[in-house]
């Protein structure tokens, strides 16, 4: 599993959106906030929650 490239590209996008969130522009600030939390939550789901659920509910192969 190639974890590092996925996390690196997500983090650079999240960091790049922070100035838009802090700008208080009525058009770009809410959009950037949604992008920020959407990327964060999808990364957490992809890297932590989904593999955990697969491990828990996968039948034993013994």
Is residue 33's pLDDT more than 80?
yes
Evaluate if pTM is beyond 0.95: no
Domain assignment present for residue 7? The answer is: no
How many domains are contained in the chain? 1
Q: Which helix (H) or strand (E) holds 17?
A: helix 3-22
Confidence of residue 3 (pLDDT cuts 50, 70, 90): confident
Distance of CA 2 to the CA centre of its chain: 15
Q: To the nearest whole percent, how much of the chain has pLDDT over 70?
A: 95
Residue 9 falls inside a structural domain: no
Domain holding 37, by residue range, is: 19-56
Better-scored residue on pLDDT, 23 or 1 = 23
1 occurs within a structural domain: no
Measured CA to CA, the distance from residue 54 to residue 46 in angstroms comes to 11
- The dihedral through the CA atoms of 45, 50, 51, 56 has a sign that is positive
pLDDT digits (tens, 9 = 90+) for 36-53: 999 999 999 989 999 899
């Amino acid at each position: 599993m190639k974890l590092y490239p996925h996390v690196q590209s997500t983090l650079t996008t999240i960091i790049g959106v922070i100035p838009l969130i802090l700008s208080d522009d009525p058009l770009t600030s809410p959009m950037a906030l949604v992008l920020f939390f959407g990327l964060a939550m999808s990364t957490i789901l992809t890297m932590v929650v989904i593999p955990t659920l697969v491990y828990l509910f996968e039948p034993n192969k013994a």
